[in-house]
Amino acid sequence: MIAVKNAAYLWRPLRRTAKSMIPLALAVSIWAPAALAQETDRVVVALTPPGGETNRFWAATSTWHALGQSLEGLVAHDPVTGEYNGDGLATSWEHNDDFTEWTFNLREGVQFHYGHGEFTAEDVVHSYELHTADASVIPAADQLRGAEVEILDPYTVRFTYEQPRTNFLYLHGGHSIMMIYSKAQFDQEGLEGYDERFAGTGPYQFVSREPGGVLYERVEDHYSGIVPDFRELELRFVSEPSTKLAMLLADEAHIADISRELMPDALDAGMGTVESTLPSIQTDLVFNGLYCESHDDRCREELPWYNVKIREAINRALNRDEMLEVLFPSGGYSLHARYTMVEGNEGYDPTLEERFEAEYGYDPERVKQLLEEADYPDSFEDPTIPIILTPMAGMPEVALQQEMVYQYLTAVGLQAEIVELDYARVRAMGRERELYMINPGRNAPPRPTEVAFRAFYTNPGGGLQGWEDDWTAAKIETLINTIDPVARDEIAREIQNYLFEQYVDIPLFDGFTQIAINPDYVGGWQFPGVTSAGYSHWHLIEAAR
Amino acid sequence: MQRYLARRILQSLITLLAISVVVFALSRLSGNPVDALLPDDATPEEAAIVMQEWGLDRPLHIQYWSFLRNAVQGNLGDSLKWPGETAMAMVWQRLPATLQLGGFAIIVSTLIAIPIGVLAAVNKGKWFDGFGKLIALIGQAVPSFWLAIVLIWVFAVHWNVFPTSGRGGLEHMVLPAIAMGWYQVAALMRLTRSATLEVLDNEYIKLARLKGVPEWRVIWVHTLRNAAITPLTYFGVIVGYIFTGSVVIETVFAWPGTGLLAIEAIRARDYTVVQAVVLTFAVVFIVANLIVDVLYAVVDPRIRYT
């Protein structure tokens, strides 16, 4: 091989290419930041992808935060207190004595976006049909189904059920909600019209959907009289948490739902946070597999946690204060005494909060005593306590939480075991009533008491809660069929106390929805935390002054 | 050549059939989409209704037969996660983004790898050769998702030169293309280097130099053309890597292509879209390899197919 003494000429073609790239590189470096400066009246929100990227609210779960900017339910809720109010499409409502008939008085003069006409009772009936069809997957669809929906006049509509619906407003203004679509648009364009550009009634109207994002623009003459600060609202769906943080820090997004573990990094970099005014999530651990109504052959009395002493021991083995410090170093969480128990809800009993430390508090000595009394592990065929470790959307702390629980249990002599399962599998096992393990659970947002009781302590509930016995089933049935508010409150309190004393699950923490903001662009955002995503009232995002 | 092509196409169809069985079976083994797509508090009765609505209550062999019969007509079913969309519509909607990014990554990889590989061979044992080896070592050792995050933090957050994520103009493609292509740069560069070294030892190269052919022409024309066959073989593999690599890179950069679509569909257990994406990847991989085989004959006249 001939040695190449001077290889400079070999570079010549590369130099030419490099020279031609310089103007391009300069153009790129100038162009990228300039593009953002032109969009000061567009607020960009980086969000976790919704359950389905669709305009059909009823056909996917967890789409509230992607469609709730434009679509509205019948019942609005207050941005601070979360209470239902008549500021939305229904101005008032009444029910008959036994709560089987609900009549809504509709706001007159509300226009659907893009000239699809005035909102009337026909749109309510049409939307009810969409949300109760077989393909509907909205939460608590079974609660909504079964009504006879009657148009009394163009601005009055009545729902009639055979059984009482004491929490019916929840289906029109809460987590499980029926959104109002335009019948006129459907008649004219079909479902494809919704897919292309649906007409809602909210303060923002839908403009377009691209893969990975949705664009809304404000309605200048909205019936509420509210004009959002930002002319445009762009949602970008990003699944990687660090990318969302990067977008926020690089000024590409002005709001981002970054995970709690990255929140300290955002704060260190000068970002701010806004928080829901009310707790939006409750976390618990659930003694699953206690399918023990007397007729149920799936009840396994040999499970260690069938024994109430073991349930109490497990509860008392956990140092919740320490867990709180480790799991939520940036705050925002507090202990709670009873899954489903929310101040202001039916059956709320403040004495349970007072009793909590004495009856559930960390006490290793008491644990040892309880285990001796239960003759654990000797009297159990299989004394293993399987703890499910599963990723849960929006709850990055679950893995560490479960590992801590494992450590606490083994430290006091309980034979714990970590079982890794994906969340969908946990759901499937729960629905098949084969979940004989301790699983993480969440109540998000906290439901009305009766709705929560139905979901968590009845058969069939949702599958992720395992406590069932004759007493609880009978009492919940009584509650469902009781319409007197005082009596209902008393029954609900009685149930809460019973569940508390039976240690039916492992109460952990109440949390608020936190979202990071860039304070250079966003001044604040008031929302109560009562929707499934936690966020709502998008029109109240304030521009930085 | 025609007979060869016909044989390859037939083999490709059999391969696709086998892939369809595998992907159909694996997606079913991963669990039921109802468990991923229904809310926590959906009752077993509601789950059963939705299963029936989606046709998932039928026996597996009937589901497969139905899938196959529709697939040959280009219909891979309706998406479960994206209501109102067919699985193929989702793929067609996202494919241009992946082709755009993948194509750009291949071009950038090639433009970087081939010259470095050639120059490393020409400068064998010198500092540039060591530099080339370092590039290759880093490219093959560093995980693409880590590289992607580092690139975002350095170039988008700290220096604000490129956007962090999303699809847009050329500036949006630079970081994901580097993250996607670096591994290929390393592999391609090493192949080019070894092939160039081999060609440089041939008599016709020495003859060209003795005849006074300019050195740049000896290297970039005579040597490179003959050395190109080995790297060319690798292009079929690159296309495969680029598509499978897009799953990670598109997720980190929120690039709305088929890779991100695959991840979203897998998370939701949207069988139909997962099947459509995998079959599309398979078709692209097969076609790319077929094209490479045909190109052999173009680059090297000694190769003839019968």
Question: Per residue in B107-148, pLDDT tens?
Answer: 988 888 999 999 999 998 899 999 888 888 888 889 999 999
Is A135 within 8 Å of B43 when comparing Cβ atoms?
no
In a domain, B292, yes or no: yes
Nearest chain B Cα to A57, which residue? B83
Same domain, B159 and B25: no
Is B160 within 8 Å of A463 when comparing Cβ atoms?
no
In a domain, B152, yes or no: yes
Same domain, B92 and B221: yes
- Dist. CA A230–CA A237, nearest whole Å: 19
Same domain, B164 and B187: yes
User: Which of A5, A247, A425, A532 to substitute to test the interface with B, most B CBs within 10 Å?
Assistant: A247
Same domain, B42 and B102: no
State the residue range of the domain holding B13.
Answer: 2-72
- Dist. CA A233–CA A541, nearest whole Å: 10
In a domain, B77, yes or no: no
Which single residue is written with the structure tokens 């740049």? B216
- Dist. CA A91–CA A48, nearest whole Å: 33
Between the CA of residue A106 and those of A70, A539, A545, B35, B47, what are the distances in Å? 18, 22, 36, 37, 33
pTM over 0.80: yes
In a domain, B79, yes or no: no
Contacts of B202 in chain A (CB under 8 A): none
In a domain, B78, yes or no: no
Q: Which residue, A87, A133, A438, is CA-closest to A290? A: A438
Is A10 within 8 Å of B260 when comparing Cβ atoms?
no
Residue A4's pLDDT band (cuts 50, 70, 90): very low
Given B43, B72, B101, the domain boundary residue is: B72
Same domain, B46 and B173: no
What integer pLDDT is reported at residue B47 of this predicted model? 81
Cβ–Cβ under 8 Å, residues B117 and B191? yes
Within 13 Å and on the Cβ side, how many CA atoms surround B76?
A: 24
- Dist. CA A428–CA A444, nearest whole Å: 19
Same domain, B156 and B50: no
Is A53 within 8 Å of B38 when comparing Cβ atoms?
no
| CA–CA–CA angle A281, A282, A285 (5° rounding) | 140
Among A369-373, A425-429, A464-468, B91-95, which is the least confidently predicted range? A464-468
Q: What is the mean pLDDT of residues B187-191?
A: 89
- Rounded to the nearest 10 degrees, how much is the dihedral formed by the CA atoms of B181, B186, B192, B197? 170
What integer pLDDT is reported at residue A445 of this predicted model? 76
Neighbouring residues of B2: CB distance < 8 A, sequence distance ≥ 6? none
Among A337-341, B44-48, B131-135, which is the least confidently predicted range? A337-341
Cβ–Cβ under 8 Å, residues B181 and B251? no
- Dist. CA B99–CA B105, nearest whole Å: 10
Q: What is the mean pLDDT of residues A125-135?
A: 92
In a domain, B81, yes or no: no
Same domain, B49 and B103: no
What integer pLDDT is reported at residue A16 of this predicted model? 45
- Type of residue numbered A135: A
Which single residue is written with the structure tokens 């591994």? B183
Same domain, B48 and B94: no
Paired residues of B86 in beta bridges: B78
Is A53 within 8 Å of B39 when comparing Cβ atoms?
no
What integer pLDDT is reported at residue A2 of this predicted model? 36
Task: Write down all domains in chain A, each with its CATH number in brackets.
Answer: 8-67+202-278+513-543 (3.40.190.10), 76-185 (3.90.76.10), 281-511 (3.10.105.10)
Instruction: For A221-251, write each residue's pLDDT tens digit.
Output: 999 999 999 999 999 999 888 999 999 999 9
- Dist. CA A178–CA B189, nearest whole Å: 59
Same domain, B207 and B263: yes
Nearest chain A Cα to B146, which residue? A242
Same domain, B68 and B91: no
Contacts of B256 in chain A (CB under 8 A): 210-212
Output the domain CATH number for residue B210: 1.10.3720.10
Nearest chain A Cα to B41, which residue? A462
In a domain, B82, yes or no: no
Nearest chain A Cα to B154, which residue? A246
Among A11-25, A118-132, B219-233, which is the least confidently predicted range? A11-25
- Dist. CA B160–CA A251, nearest whole Å: 9
Average pLDDT score, chain A = 87
Distance in Å from the first CA to the final CA of chain B: 5
Same domain, B159 and B192: yes
Most confident of A193-207, B38-52, B101-115, B178-192: A193-207
Same domain, B94 and B51: no
- Dist. CA A521–CA B263, nearest whole Å: 32
Q: Which of A135, A139, A243 sits opposite B39 (nearest CB)?
A: A139
Average pLDDT score, chain B = 87
In a domain, B135, yes or no: yes
Contacts of A13 in chain B (CB under 8 A): 115, 216, 220
What integer pLDDT is reported at residue A526 of this predicted model? 92
Query: What tokens were used for A310?
Result: 């073991």
Is A243 within 8 Å of B253 when comparing Cβ atoms?
yes
Is B164 within 8 Å of A247 when comparing Cβ atoms?
yes
Contacts of B209 in chain A (CB under 8 A): 2
Q: Which residue, A301, A299, A305, is CA-closest to A414? A: A305
Q: Which of B35, B153, B209 sits opposite A425 (nearest CB)?
A: B35
What integer pLDDT is reported at residue A9 of this predicted model? 42
Given B26, B47, B72, the domain boundary residue is: B72
Instruction: For A280-304, write each residue's pLDDT tens digit.
Output: 888 889 999 999 998 888 999 999 9
Which single residue is written with the structure tokens 């007979």? B3
Is B81 within 8 Å of A60 when comparing Cβ atoms?
yes
What integer pLDDT is reported at residue A117 of this predicted model? 95
Given B72, B98, B132, the domain boundary residue is: B72
ipTM associated with this complex: 0.84
Is A2 within 8 Å of B170 when comparing Cβ atoms?
no
Question: Taking the CB of residue B45, how many other CB atoms lie within 10 A of it?
Answer: 10
Is B171 within 8 Å of A60 when comparing Cβ atoms?
no
What integer pLDDT is reported at residue B225 of this predicted model? 84
Query: How many domains are there within chain B?
Result: 2
Cβ–Cβ under 8 Å, residues A369 and A358? no
Contacts of A175 in chain B (CB under 8 A): none
Residue A508's pLDDT band (cuts 50, 70, 90): very high
- Dist. CA B58–CA A402, nearest whole Å: 37
- Dist. CA A293–CA A389, nearest whole Å: 28
Is A32 within 8 Å of B171 when comparing Cβ atoms?
yes
